[in-house]
Amino acid sequence: MTVQKKDLLTLLDSSADEIIGMIKLAKELKEERYTIKNSIFSQKTGVLIFEKPSLRTRITFETAINELGGHAINLESQMVGMGKRECVEDVARNLERWVHLIVARTYSHSTVEQLARYCSIPVINALTDTFHPCQAMAFGLTLYEKLSFDKKRNVVFIGDGNNVCNSIMALCSKLGFNFTVVCPKGYEPDPVIQKRCQEEFKKSGGSLTLTNQMSPSIETADVLYTDVWTSMGQESESEKRKKDFSGFQVNMDTLSRAQPDILVTHCLPAHRGEEITSDVLDSDHSIAFDEAENRLHAQKAIIVNLLSFNNG
């Protein structure tokens, strides 16, 4: 596997080979979960710092570190007070003296960038306002299992051009898929990130389409992806967003217009009845819980990948 970076902050920093290598490794780690004793992280400690709530990310990172033979410590971000009690640089400079990995969920993307810049140990972005690369890796693994990568796929993201959308877009740009964002006017992904992904789509042979209309992209989609309309930190905009996104729900009507074998997913947590209806999320088309399961395996592969860079 070609390893290029000390950290995983965004998939835009990884090559297609590296992403595919990590997905294949994740699949192997999943298959051998209960048969091989893994000690790659033995005698090592990973620290988890979360400025925002989490179920999936926190549990899967803790489990991943433990199953790789290491030890995980959860830091209460309020106790640490990154940028308040102590500057981010000094938090990084201290942590590198004791532990071997930092997993951080922060509001500002620049916080994880600063952590990475000021310490010599790997830093993994566990979600920022801008990116959620671990989610995209779990999606990549799930797609690989369900559809394989033997042909160009059409991935349609319905909803807000947010952190999850940015990371799915980055993944698709690297893998040469066709990616469409269907969103209300004004909720498109950040133009700077779009531009960066466009360069990757050009190289990989995939495409990026932005539209405010469900048709015709949903009719030709292989996968529909959605996420909450109001992300963590945007709660004051919730009522406005409910109105603005009202025509962008993924429901049975959406599915009736799609291909019969359409797959639907969501990063979770879902707001059932808002961006997605329960009958869709609980249907046979839904791969959302498979994707949640794959967070564990994808993140193990990310850790193994980063350790091989840092030890090599």
List active site positions: 105, 132, 135, 227, 267, 295
Binds ligand CP (CB under 6 A): choice among 114, 128, 135, 294: 135
- Which of 52, 93 has the CB closer to ligand CP? 52
Least separation, in Å, of the C-beta of 78 and ligand CP? 18
Is residue 291 involved in binding ligand NVA (CB under 6 A)? no
Per CB under 6 A, 226 contacts ligand CP? no
Among 20, 40, 75, 268, the residue binding ligand CP under the rule CB under 6 A is: 268
Nearest in space to 73 (alpha carbons), one of 44, 40, 105 = 44
Rounded Cα gap, residues 142 and 237, in angstroms:
32
- Whole-number minimum distance, CB 86 to ligand CP, in Å? 25
Chain position whose Cβ is nearest to ligand NVA: 231
- Write the CB contacts of 130 (distance below 8 Å, at least 6 apart in sequence): 10, 109, 163, 166, 190, 193
| Closest approach of ligand CP to the CB of residue 203, in Å | 28
Nearest to 294 by CA among 181, 143, 189, 74: 143
Q: Which single residue is written with the structure tokens 């693994």?
A: 141
Is residue 228 part of the contact set for ligand NVA (CB under 6 A)?
yes
- Residue 67 contact among ligand NVA, ligand CP, none, beta carbon within 5 to 8 Å by kind: none
The verdict on 267 binding ligand CP (CB under 6 A) reads yes
77 binds ligand CP (CB under 6 A): no
Name every residue whose Cβ is closer than 8 Å to that of residue 41 and which is 6 or more positions away in sequence: 65, 68, 69, 70, 100, 101, 303, 307
* Phi (first) and psi of residue 207, to 5 degrees: -145, 155
When CB distances are held under 5 to 8 angstroms depending on the partner's kind, the choice from ligand CP, ligand NVA, none that residue 68 binds is: none
Q: Which is nearer to ligand NVA, 167 or 194 (CB)?
A: 167
Rounded least distance, CB 53 to ligand CP, Å: 6
Q: What are phi and psi of 98, to 5 degrees?
A: -115, -35
CB 303 within 8 A of CB 99: no
DSSP conformational letter for 283: S
CA 283/CA 306 separation, integer angstroms: 36
Residues that bind ligand NVA (CB under 6 A): 127, 162-164, 227-228, 231-232, 267
Binding site for ligand CP (CB under 6 A): 54-57, 127, 135, 267-269
